[in-house]
Structure 1
Amino acid sequence: MVSEALLPWLLDADPALRWQVQRDLAQEPPEVWQATRARVATEGFGARLLALQDSDGQWAGGAYFPAGFEGRTMDDVGQPWTATTWTLNALREWGLDAAVLRERRTAELLAENCRWEYDDLPYWGGEVDCCINGYTVANGVWLGADIGGVVDWFLEHRLPDGGWNCEWVEGSTRSSFHSTLNSLTGLLAYDAATGGTDATRAARRSGEEYLLERQLFRRLSTAEQVAPWVDTFTYPARWVYSVLNAAEYFRDAALVDGTPPDPRMAGAIDLIRAARQPDGTWLQGRRLRGQTWFEVDAPEGAPSKWLTLSGARVLAWWDAR
């Protein structure tokens, strides 16, 4: 999966990354990677984010944006990534034990104190943006919040072509690669945690089919690559779609569902493989602008440990089919 020379470089990392390398690439036994994973709460990136939590359960005083942020400044500096939702996404993806935040009553505090910037809606009720609602479902099932209403929202807002689009509020009736993948990630988290329902599984299948029909990166009408961003790989990816992020989703879904890789992903896998450097690494792509709490990966153009972990485990999964 990775060379013997590359593995020490990957393992010399924050616990948030190291435990995943141990589990997915080094094939260490559970007692090894689980011990490393437990350190996410007390060391490195995870501990630093936990220390930044506000007394009311939020981060940076806001749901999607920091308190006091004025959206008109986004054109100048980009979106800030410090607010509650983005911080929960990172902690969940890094493998923090949800018990740490449950002991802090985070879900309850957010229910009491956190409102979406859109229409002042309650945090665990979601809002109108598919991507935001996908994060809300994933974070909610992780923390034990009641997100049943948001799950139902996805069933009601699926578009005729099978996926989702955050621009539905502007009248769009065609699904988006970005919105569909982020919606699927939330539904997969729900199905994995609860077993799902016939309705959620059917919705997830239709969204997956939307992407697979397009081979994860092509226009259905012309078979051309849909946009340059499909093979631009960046960590953290935030909300942005790429074939690598999509392949990670399908790998996760296959592990939950017990299914093999779909052969329609072959072209996307070729793009991922082509991006691997001669030394086995993947390079950091164009970074999303915006304020962060701190840096967690390499600068643009440098070898990225996070992307190398992602690319290597996707290829290992695909090649083992």
Structure 2
Amino acid sequence: MTHDPALVEWMLDTDPALRWQVQRDLVAEPEAVWRARRARVATEGYGARLLALQDSDGQWAGGAFFPRDFDFHGPEAAEGAGQPWTATTWSLNSLREWGADPGALLSGTAELLAANSRWEYNGAPYWEGEVDCCINGYTLANGAWLGADVAGIAQWFVDHQLDDGGWNCEWVEGSTRSSFLSTLNSLKGILAYETTLAAEGITTPAALTEARHRGEEYLLERRLLYRASTGEVVAPWVTRFAYPWRAFYNALKAVDYFRDAALADGSPPDARLADAVAAIVSQRQPDGRWRQARRNPGRVWFEVDVDAGEPSPWLTFVALRALDWWGDVRP
């Protein structure tokens, strides 16, 4: 789909972490062009800055999910304060999502994390995962990216899928109903693991792919937006788009996932995405851009997108990519 040249140039005039994706997915530049730009993620801008902050033990901020100095009883832990986004898992998420080459990290990062990083919840080794679905989803994706053995985490998702088809990080507290956010983050991790295996010529266990499809059905039955019990919109935040995604659910993040899953599976978009797509369209501004709804609270190494209320190149890119896909092949 052809886009306003001024809008495209605005998105291209950004960090290499975004620019290469615009070149590949919106402009359809030759592969050699966008790959050359992608290679610069490790040496310029956000990627280079974050790589420089990696500790000699393989971690960031001295912790697995929280910084070493995080006070679980202090002001940062208060409701609404927002957890810090500086520790290892969040830093790996960013580098992977920006397209950094895993070889740009410290040599042997996967082994360093296995030796030195432990989950704050229970002290388990990093690549064994945790009890939290979202954390395990991130770790599954990051482990596959770094070449760690995370097959045990993949099986964990099969073993801990709830009867309604999704997942809930509160399962350990007894919850038996799935959550939109927990399910989406679980699906993202599983899909990243599957696509990494596929690129290496490895077949994903059928039970894991089946679990992913069941999880997708959980969200599709609710059209990504609505409670199954009442049919009401699950919460106002479903149309409050903010980048970086962090640990929050919204319709744009969900549709972006279903685009990736459909492309991986070679399947058309499901018609039940229509309401979520309409929600994305409703947030488009007269100038053709999408605005940052909020700054997700919490400590960061540095900001990577605009302040709340400003036009966001990242959100605009993801929204246009999703709409291009939907417009090209929608049912």
CA contact (8 A) 1:57 1:110 kept: yes
Alignment partner of 1:130 is 2:138: no
SS in 1 for 2:62: coil
Q: What is the alpha-carbon distance in structure 1 between the residues aligned to residue 68 and residue 269 of structure 2?
A: 43
Partner residue in 1 for 2:93? 89
Superposition RMSD in Å: 1.0
Offset at 1:205? 0.4
Offset at 1:77? 3.6
SS in 1 for 2:216: helix
Corresponding residue pairs, total:
320
TM-score (norm 2): 0.95
Q: What is the alpha-carbon distance in structure 1 between the residues aligned to residue 250 and residue 204 of structure 2?
A: 26
SS in 1 for 2:21: helix
Alignment partner of 1:166 is 2:169: yes
Alignment partner of 1:98 is 2:102: yes
Q: What is the alpha-carbon distance in structure 2 between the residues aligned to residue 287 and residue 145 of structure 1?
A: 33
Offset at 1:196? 1.4
Offset at 1:224? 1.2
Candidates 309, 312, 317, aligned match of 2:320? 312
Q: What is the alpha-carbon distance in structure 1 between the residues aligned to residue 300 and residue 89 of structure 2?
A: 13
Alignment partner of 1:206 is 2:214: yes
CA contact (8 A) 1:191 1:197 kept: no
Candidates 140, 149, 154, aligned match of 1:151? 154
Provide Cα deviations, 1:95-126, integer angstroms capped at 9, x if missing partner: 0012223x611000000000000111100000
Partner residue in 1 for 2:22? 21
Alignment partner of 1:112 is 2:115: yes
SS in 2 for 1:60: coil
Provide Cα deviations, 1:294-313, integer angstroms capped at 9, x if missing partner: 01000000000100000000
Q: Share of identical aligned residues, percent? A: 64
Offset at 1:222? 2.0
Offset at 1:162? 0.1
Q: What is the alpha-carbon distance in structure 1 between the residues aligned to residue 196 and residue 51 of structure 2?
A: 23
Q: What is the alpha-carbon distance in structure 1 between the residues aligned to residue 91 and residue 194 of structure 2?
A: 23
Alignment partner of 1:175 is 2:170: no
Partner residue in 1 for 2:4? 3
Offset at 1:190? 1.4
Partner residue in 2 for 1:36? 37
SS in 1 for 2:130: coil
Offset at 1:239? 1.3
SS in 2 for 1:247: helix
Candidates 186, 190, 211, aligned match of 2:193? 190
SS in 2 for 1:91: helix
Candidates 262, 269, 281, aligned match of 1:254? 262
Partner residue in 2 for 1:63? 64
Offset at 1:290? 0.6
Query: For structure 2, which runs of at least 5 residues remain unmatched after alignment?
Result: 198-202
Runs of 4+ in 1 over 6 A off after TM superposition: none
Offset at 1:229? 1.1
SS in 2 for 1:320: helix
Give 1:121's aligned amino acid. A
Q: What is the alpha-carbon distance in structure 2 between the residues aligned to residue 220 and residue 78 of structure 1?
A: 29
Provide Cα deviations, 1:174-230, integer angstroms capped at 9, x if missing partner: 000000000001110111112311101100000000000000001112221111111
Offset at 1:3? 1.1
Query: For structure 1, which runs of at least 5 residues remain unmatched after alignment?
Result: none
CA contact (8 A) 1:162 1:207 kept: yes
Partner residue in 2 for 1:226? 234
